[in-house]
Structure 1
Amino acid sequence: MRVLVTGANGFVGSSLCKTLSGRGYFVRAAVRSMEKSFSPADAMECIQVGEIGPNTDWAVALRGIDVVAHLASRVHIMRDASTNPSDDYRRVNIEGTRTLAEAAVKAGVSRCIFLSTIKVSGEQTTDRAFVETDISPKMDPYSISKNEAELALNSIADKLGLEVVIIRPPLVYGPGVKANFLRLIDMVNKNIPLPLSLVRNKRSMIYVGNLTDAIIKCIEHKSAANKTFLISDGQDISTSELIKMIAKAMGKKPSLLPLPPSLIKALGKLAGKSLEVDRLVGSLRVDSTKIRKMLGWKPPFTIEEGISETVRWYMDMNKDATKRG
């Protein structure tokens, strides 16, 4: 089978290319530019497609392809500096996705796997975990664009016969992770006291190795066609438990302080960081029963294994930085 991976030099894309190639797939990696490092061993071919949007020419990239794994997107950015983020999200995530799907139909592609986001379902859970039918009544420009991209793909599936599979992952972590998860690892490594020992929230996450395995299951399994799936590692943990896991993988004792979550939220509001604090103390659980039962998918890595691999990468990265310094 021949697979085109968009966003191939990104965090998830590079992992998917490597895993697909290792399993014997022909992999064509589509990247915006060749500036970012990308190992030729991770794909059979690498092709530059430029900026993704309504005018992207996909003809060469799609030639001879059976399945598209569409991972490229304009991602959610805290305190986005763009003068018009809504238009930017629409151009890349909605119009760019629609253009790719229509071109895929013309090229004879049979299936498109679309990596969406759990933010389409919502930002927090209370009494139960999210399921596939949950759609948030309140969305930011990023999640609106992902939801509209899902709707556009489903419309193309209905009208033109392209098989579409939508995956909504929660927070993805693993070697190469950035942003808040990397900052948390860094704080644990530096023994910075974190006032989170009283936090009893529950959050779903997914290790990048589990996500790539689930994507491949959606590429291969006949019953995945025209379905939406929520996925996770299958073990929901609190922020304090996550910190303890990270510290254990480092061979350290976690530096946790007892501060009531209500006080943490109040301080976060005063500091103008309510969104960041909500992610630390709030719950976000997803129910991945559907993909497990319908496709027989089981995550190949436990959350402990995923955290250990992520910490190992972080420590190796720090060693390399020290040597260069």
Structure 2
Amino acid sequence: MNLLVTGASGFIGSKLLERLNLSLVKALGRNLPVNLPCSQFYKQDIGNSTNYSKVLCNIDTIIHIAARVHIMSDESSTPLNDYREVNTEGTLNLARQAIAAGVKRFIFISSIKVNGEATELDCPFKSEDIRSPKDFYGQSKSEAEEQLLQLSKETSLEVVIIRPTLVYGPGVKANFASLLNLVSKGLPLPFGCITNNKRSLVSVNNLVDLIVTCIGHPKAVNQVFLVSDDHDVSTSEMVREMAKSLNKPQWQLPIPKWCYRLAGSIFGKQDVVDRLLSSLQVDITHTKETLDWKPPQTLEEGFKETAEAFLLNKENKQ
């Protein structure tokens, strides 16, 4: 089976290539992935006018990871249009050309932001829930999902949608990396009171395993799958697990939640505070039962692998 992977040099894409037979893979993106021959790489952006005719020749399945990602401080004057150009219109352009080229399956890596930003405690999002994105990134992904599923009804293209929660693993960046770095200092941290929220996370290894499962699984067709490690943790538990993985003290000070809210209001960081205090859980029962799948890596194993890579990278920089 010949595969096309978009975003192949990114955090998820590079890990996916490690699991695939590279002789059967073409990659599309901005940078040549490690260990992939130049002849199998196409430097192209995802856009509503991009021509993929050379890339799609003899491709059976597309794994579409490339996207304009969520940006915390987006200064664009037309952010929704910018997200739509890549995540919605660019995706649909690729899908339509894939249909014309005879591609059988289109695996779309979406986002849990299609469901929303937060859940009530122990009331997780489910795959059949009505889409309810709260930001432009989530809206652009939601629109792409809806139109892809419509295409699948009108054509022979098999569509598979995967909505990951926060993805972590060796080489992770952004907020997870910042928190890991903070915990690595071994200082007392102010998360002792944040114990009654729950967050669903997914290791990049578990996400990749699900993607690989969906490449050929007959029951994956035209389905939406939520994915996590199937082990939800509070903010305090997450920090404690990080500390254990880093072999650092697990001191957490019981700072009241109102202090966080006050600080968020004063410094304009309410969105950061909301993520620290709120819950975002997913129910992956549909994923497990439909595909006879379960996450192969535990959260503890995922944190340990991530911490080891973080420490090695830190040592190499010294």
TM superposition score category, shorter chain reference: over 0.9
Is residue 110 of structure 1 aligned with residue 108 of structure 2?
A: no
**Paired residue type of 2:166:** L
Q: Distance in 2 between matches of 1:30 and 1:99?
A: 14
| Residue equivalent to 1:63 | 57
Is residue 243 of structure 1 aligned with residue 222 of structure 2?
A: no
TM-superposition CA deviations, 1:91-123 (whole Å, max 9, x none): 000110000001111111100000110011011
1:40 partner SS: coil
Is residue 31 of structure 1 aligned with residue 29 of structure 2?
A: yes
Give how far 1:180 is off: 0.2
| Residue equivalent to 2:280 | 284
Match of 2:191 among 179, 196, 217: 196
TM-score, length basis structure 1: 0.93
Query: How many positions carry a matched residue from both structures?
Result: 316
Give how far 1:82 is off: 2.2
| Structure 1 outlier segments of 4+, above 4 Å | none
Q: Distance in 1 between matches of 2:224 and 2:180?
A: 32
Give how far 1:48 is off: 2.3
User: Does the 8 Å contact 2:114/2:132 carry over to 1?
Assistant: no
| Residue equivalent to 1:154 | 149
CA RMSD of aligned residues (A): 1.6
| Residue equivalent to 2:129 | 134
TM-superposition CA deviations, 1:27-54 (whole Å, max 9, x none): 21111344xxx2125x795322422111
Q: Distance in 1 between matches of 2:17 and 2:177?
A: 23
Q: Distance in 1 between matches of 2:143 and 2:54?
A: 26
Unaligned runs of at least 5 residues, structure 2: none
User: Does the 8 Å contact 2:117/2:133 carry over to 1?
Assistant: no
Q: Distance in 2 between matches of 1:115 and 1:293?
A: 20
Q: Distance in 2 between matches of 1:110 and 1:256?
A: 51
User: Does the 8 Å contact 1:28/1:44 carry over to 2?
Assistant: no
| Residue equivalent to 1:5 | 5
2:18 partner SS: helix
1:19 partner SS: coil
Is residue 184 of structure 1 aligned with residue 179 of structure 2?
A: yes
| Residue equivalent to 1:98 | 92
Is residue 296 of structure 1 aligned with residue 288 of structure 2?
A: no
1:134 partner SS: coil
- Call closer, same or farther: CA 1:297–1:45 in 2, change over 3 Å: farther
Q: Distance in 2 between matches of 1:261 and 1:25?
A: 53
Unaligned runs of at least 5 residues, structure 1: none
Q: Distance in 2 between matches of 1:220 and 1:141?
A: 32
Q: Distance in 2 between matches of 1:136 and 1:228?
A: 11
Is residue 87 of structure 1 aligned with residue 87 of structure 2?
A: no
User: Does the 8 Å contact 2:112/2:165 carry over to 1?
Assistant: yes
| Residue equivalent to 2:265 | 269
1:61 partner SS: coil
Give how far 1:139 is off: 1.7
| Residue equivalent to 2:44 | 50
Q: Distance in 2 between matches of 1:79 and 1:130?
A: 26
**Paired residue type of 1:205:** L
Q: How many percent of aligned residue pairs carry the same amino acid?
A: 45
Stretch moving more, 69-78 or 257-266: 257-266
| Residue equivalent to 2:315 | 319
Q: Distance in 2 between matches of 1:11 and 1:209?
A: 11
